A and B are shown apart, each in its own frame.
Chain A
Amino acid sequence: MEEENQNSKSNRTNCSSSMSDVVLGCVMPYIHDPRDRDAVSLVCRRWYELDALTRKHITIAFCYTTSPDRLRRRFKHLESLKLKGKPRAAMFNLIPEDWGGFVTPWVNEIAESFNCLKSLHFRRMIVTDSDLEVLAKSRGRVLQVFKLDKCSGFSTDGLLHVGRLCRQLRTLFLEESSILEKDGYWLHELALNNTVLETLNLYMTDLNKVRFEDLELIAKNCRNLVSVKISDCEILDLVRFFHTAAALEEFCGGSFNDMPDKYSAVTFPQKLCRLGLTYMGKNEMPIVFPFASLLKKLDLLYALLDTEDHCLLIQKCFNLEVLETRNVIGDRGLEVLASSCRRLKRLRIELGADAQGMEDEEGVVSQRGLIALAQGCLELEYMAVYVSDITNVALEHIGAHLRNLNDFRLVLLDREERITDLPLDNGVRSLLRQCKKLRRFALYLRPGGLTDVGLGYIGQYSINVRWMLLRYVGESDEGLLEFSKGCPSLQKLEMRGCCFTESALARAVMQLTSLRYLWVQGYRASSSNPGRDLSAMVRPFWNIELIPPRKVVVVNQVGEDVVVEQPAHILAYYSLAGPRTDFPNSVVPLDLVGLVAT
């Protein structure tokens, strides 16, 4: 970092004599990979400065690791910034709403200093209407990409400023944000003022007051409109929109509220190849058949299809590269997928309803489906799946065939009493050993799912894995310590429901050489003084925070509201900005001095 560069002053003459600045200035912009850039910036001061001048994009994976001030001092000419706030668990309702990740300090700095910023992406952060106003007024004229990704805290009033002032927007992305909807005027403003929009994403925002007339206007004015994802809007109202948006390649959202035969009149844009129709049922499904073979991406997460429907549709989509759906697809659907969609690269199977017959009884995924998949879809790079049953053999098949996997996530449901083949030690070892490109890995099991030996295998064979999410793995502290001797690339570790003690967690952290972020919920707290045994991981630049246990209302399997006591979380991360100063009541920083002293 900066300290090291000051020491290399003596190397300055050597560096600059071997390559002139002009040459370096020409070469550097071609280096894009952030890790390469990181290495470049460490060579000497001159290279550090040149990197700072020419770096186009920065991703700050966790907003509290640094400060707006530091970002400005180093990368004043930044063109693109991505900032992430709340822990991933926030997507699953596990983090208090007011936890943190406020964009305000960043927005203020951007408004004041970052003159070149064209692209801004906030993910899981808290944004206010005032933030949007400040941004729109200061950077609206140049902003081309604006993404509020799973954010919350703002309303359509804030979006009004964006619609009015951000006239150069190519991309407006609001997917899954919690937005207070007062009206649909903001979209009208956007429709009036923008002619260059290419991507509009309101997916899963419940923004239902947007008028389809405004969508038509956008389609008419923005000839480059390529991707549109909206909330619930009757498909029959969008017929004119589909006619006008001639360049449209992607559409998701909509709603089917009328009689099925009325939808045969709907025609989609010619180039449409990425599709997801909300509430589409078996009777409406045939409208997709005419262009099913052109589809590269299919989103059935929010459709109303059963297993048989899936089989019927998927069979026709033989060019499919991305499929997202719920586990209602079943083993049979996966078998059809494996035989029909040989080009499949990404597969995501989410958890549907499991209560009261809301889903097809055939809608369970098990080793049978996985084995078929492994043998059929050899180009798979991303696979996330909820299974009701699993075997080691299934994982071995994945390891043997899916050599291109870079992201693998397996969740074993609590539904069945008996799992055919536990523990999964050998299967996991086989998979990790053979899928050498694996960078992200998640294993969500139940007690008995993986022994300490198995956990040790994960440590040993996950050479390139940078992110892991683990639940109910291992049996004792020994397993965790063995695990933490390996995982050489592990930067971010998330765990739930572990039987490990605080001191084991702390020791593991100290052994994981690449670890910069840890999140744990459900562990063996010290009975006498919770948090105390974490002192083993106290070290400079390492922030440790606790979210104490709290009572939360959740919906249980039967669909009832139940009050559950959610266990405590530990969050620990490297930071150059010191401890947080914006804690809500629900978060407790660990008093390091106090801990070490006792």
Chain B
Amino acid sequence: MSRATVELDFFGMEKQISANSRFPKFLNRQRSFRDIQSAISKINPELLKSVIASGSANQQSTPENGYQFDSKKSFSVPATPKEEQTPFPRLPVYYPLQRPALENPPQTAPLTIFYNGTVAVFDVPRDTAESILKLAENGFSKAVESTNQKQVLESLEGDLPIARRKSLQRFLEKRKERLTSLSPYACTPDCRS
């Protein structure tokens, strides 16, 4: 993980997570993971876009919560030994990487891309890495049909997050207010209705 820390400083992406929580014990354990994962993930959209799309005539707009490869142009990546390329997933699903991943490192590994004088390191799961490599190899043709439908879905995904029930939403807001304004043992006349 020290390697990742170097990248963090390099790109100056250190972030603070607010410690406004009722469960501080959980947060502390997670904090280092979250910092690293989220910071690394935050690099992805901008840098990846510039890396892949630089020099490309056709730039596709990317939706809010996801990103897409500009599959029209293939680009060269550092030569990857063929043995690492296992059969690709049945359905190439694009993973929005800027959401902090909660689970364990063994499932993701660093993928380093050198392009045109810039360096980017991404912590990606195996499937995503395979998708990237497949796109680089096959270029545009195969990916496009499923891309169209997926595009629609991806663009919808940004606009159609899971809607929360009004009553739950209200409760969660009130709970937040309670935690920020009341200490657990406050007993003022105001809080009695």
Contact = CB atoms under 8 A, between A and B. Distances in A.
Contacts of B193: 208, 212, 232-234, 237, 255
Contacts of A350: 165, 168
Nearest to B182: A257
Interface string B34-71: 00000000000000000000000000000000000000
Most buried by B among A234, A451, A522: A522
Interface in B83-121: 91, 93, 95-97, 99, 101-103, 107
A93 to B, nearest CB: 6
Given A233-B193, A259-B187, A92 B164 contact: yes
Interface residues of B, number: 57
Interface of B: 17-18, 20-24, 26-27, 29-30, 91, 93, 95-97, 99, 101-103, 107, 125, 127, 146, 149-150, 152-154, 156-157, 159-173, 175-176, 178, 182, 184-187, 191-193
A260 B107 CA distance: 44
A565 B158 CA distance: 9
Given A416-B103, A472-B153, A497-B153, A352 B163 contact: no
B168 A301 contact: yes
Contacts of B22: 304, 357-358
A445 to B, nearest CB: 11
B102 A304 contact: no
Q: Which 5 A-B pairs have the closest CB atoms?
A: A92-B163, A357-B21, A257-B191, A447-B153, A361-B26
Contacts of A413: 162
Contact of B159 (A204, A559, A565): A565
Contact of A356 (B21, B103, B149, B185): B21
Contact of B169 (A93, A259, A358): A93
Given A94-B163, A258-B187, A357 B23 contact: yes
A155 interface: no
A463 to B, nearest CB: 29
B175 A499 contact: no
B185 A259 contact: yes
A415 to B, nearest CB: 7
Contact of A351 (B146, B150, B164): B164
A417 B163 CA distance: 19
A241 to B, nearest CB: 13
A352 B172 contact: yes
Nearest to B97: A417
Nearest to A259: B185
30 contacts: A91-B165, A91-B166, A92-B163, A93-B164, A176-B167, A204-B167, A208-B193, A212-B193, A232-B193, A255-B193, A259-B185, A301-B168, A304-B22, A357-B22, A357-B23, A357-B24, A357-B27, A358-B21, A358-B172, A359-B23, A360-B23, A415-B99, A417-B101, A447-B150, A499-B153, A522-B156, A522-B160, A557-B161, A564-B159, A567-B160
A567 B192 contact: no
A485 interface: no
Contact of A522 (B26, B27, B159): B159
Given A92-B164, A361-B26, A521-B160, A418 B125 contact: yes
Interface in A88-120: 89, 91-94
A534 to B, nearest CB: 17
Contact of B156 (A279, A356, A567): A567
Contact of A476 (B97, B125, B149, B171): B149
A496 interface: yes
Contact of B171 (A301, A444, A557): A301
A271 interface: no
A228 to B, nearest CB: 15
A285 B91 CA distance: 47
Given A91-B165, A418-B107, A499-B156, 19 more contacts: A92-B164, A92-B165, A93-B163, A234-B191, A259-B187, A279-B175, A301-B167, A301-B168, A301-B171, A350-B165, A351-B162, A357-B21, A358-B176, A446-B157, A448-B91, A497-B156, A499-B153, A559-B176, A564-B161
Most buried by B among A92, A422, A471: A92
Contact of A414 (B24, B162, B173): B162
A301 B174 CA distance: 13
Given A351-B168, A499-B149, A304 B26 contact: no
A549 B102 CA distance: 34
Contacts of A496: 160
Interface in A281-318: 281, 283, 301-302, 304, 306
Most buried by B among A350, A357, A499: A357
A283 B22 CA distance: 14
B27 A447 contact: no
Interface in A316-367: 326, 350-353, 356-361
B157 A524 contact: no
A555 interface: yes
A302 B97 CA distance: 32
B175 A304 contact: yes
Interface in A423-465: 423, 444, 446-448, 451
A393 to B, nearest CB: 18
Contacts of A301: 167-168, 171
Nearest to B108: A417
Contact of A444 (B102, B162, B169): B162
A171 B146 CA distance: 55
B157 A356 contact: no
Nearest to A283: B184
Contacts of B168: 301, 326, 350-352
A406 interface: no
Contacts of B164: 92-93, 351
A499 B152 contact: yes
Nearest to B173: A555
Interface string A541-557: 00000000000001111
Interface in A372-421: 411, 413-418
A232 B20 CA distance: 24
A360 B186 CA distance: 24
Contact of B192 (A234, A471, A499, A557): A234
A417 B149 contact: no
A475 interface: yes
Contacts of B163: 89, 92-94
